[in-house]
């Protein structure tokens, strides 16, 4: 086996398209893949473990780290900051393992700007509007108004699909998981990820022309 550099796998989708189920199944079946752990300024909830669920930071520490370029991407959501520490991700990639991100198009754009070569981005689409609405209705006891708002937000998010490398239309969970796994397996064979190749080929060439 030639040593390889890990990759960053980004899954984005409007909520209700099935991204979370795909990610969960994928993490179970692929032992080379780990979920990215974000830093956040929100309070720790009961049962949450520092360094496993999140890295918990106060706002001043978080903002200092933003200024120092500590985050691959970050966002402010409902008065709390969330961000991906570059150092922990890089450590994993250097070990030849891959990191999975569940982030939106804005986070994806930030990673693209700073680490394009390590990024593999997939956009998950719902199979139809009816199915998207059904999943959003099933999810919680929300009012029709809230669901309508989410549908409008989904329409907005879907406009960003052309910024991704791959698109999967999620007709069926098992098929979509298989498609993401196929992309992951193929991307691992990309030349710039197989870091030991140059030594391997050098050795082959020397002994072939000897």
Pairing verdict, β 54-56 and 71-77 = unpaired
Give the DSSP H/E element, type plus range, for residue 209. Answer: none
31 is a contact residue toward its own copies (CB under 8 A): no
Nearest to its own copies of 50, 172 (CB atom): 172
CA distance 154 to 44: 29
129 is a contact residue toward its own copies (CB under 8 A): yes
Determine contact, residues 164/121, Cβ cutoff 8 Å.
yes
Contact with its own copies (CB under 8 A) among 33, 57, 72, 179: 179
Give the DSSP H/E element, type plus range, for residue 165. Answer: none
Determine contact, residues 7/180, Cβ cutoff 8 Å.
no
Q: Which stretch binds its own copies (CB under 8 A): 37-45, 51-59, 61-69, 164-172?
A: 164-172
User: What is the phi/psi pair of residue 105, to 5°?
Assistant: -65, -30
166 is a contact residue toward its own copies (CB under 8 A): yes
2 is a contact residue toward its own copies (CB under 8 A): yes
Determine contact, residues 58/41, Cβ cutoff 8 Å.
yes
Q: Which stretch binds its own copies (CB under 8 A): 42-50, 56-64, 77-85, 200-208?
A: 200-208
CA distance 205 to 199: 10
Site string for its own copies, 95-124 (x = CB under 8 A): ----------------------------x-
Nearest to its own copies of 44, 190 (CB atom): 190
CA 141 to chain centre: 28
Contact with its own copies (CB under 8 A) among 10, 37, 154, 177: 154
| Distance in Å, CB of 191 to its own copies, minimum | 5
Nearest to its own copies of 76, 185 (CB atom): 185
């Amino acid at each position: 086996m030639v040593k390889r550099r890990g990759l960053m796998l980004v899954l984005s989708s409007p909520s209700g398209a099935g991204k979370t189920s795909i990610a969960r199944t994928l993490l179970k079946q692929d032992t080379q893949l780990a979920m990215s752990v974000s830093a956040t300024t929100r309070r720790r909830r009961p049962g949450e473990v520092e360094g496993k669920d999140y890295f918990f930071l106060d706002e001043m520490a978080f903002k200092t780290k933003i200024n120092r370029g500590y985050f691959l991407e970050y966002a402010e959501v409902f008065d709390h900051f969330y961000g991906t520490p570059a150092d922990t991700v890089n450590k994993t990639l250097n070990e030849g393992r891959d990191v999975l991100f569940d982030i939106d198009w804005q986070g994806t754009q930030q990673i693209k700007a700073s680490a394009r070569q390590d990024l593999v981005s997939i956009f998950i689409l719902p199979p139809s509007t009816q199915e998207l609405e059904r999943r959003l209705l099933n999810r919680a006891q929300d009012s029709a108004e809230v669901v309508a708002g989410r549908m409008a937000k989904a329409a907005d998010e879907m406009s960003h699909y052309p910024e991704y490398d791959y698109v999967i239309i999620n007709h069926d969970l098992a098929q979509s998981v298989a498609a993401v796994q196929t992309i992951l397996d193929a991307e691992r064979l990309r030349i710039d990820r197989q870091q030991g190749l140059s030594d391997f080929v050098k050795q082959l060439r020397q002994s072939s022309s000897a």
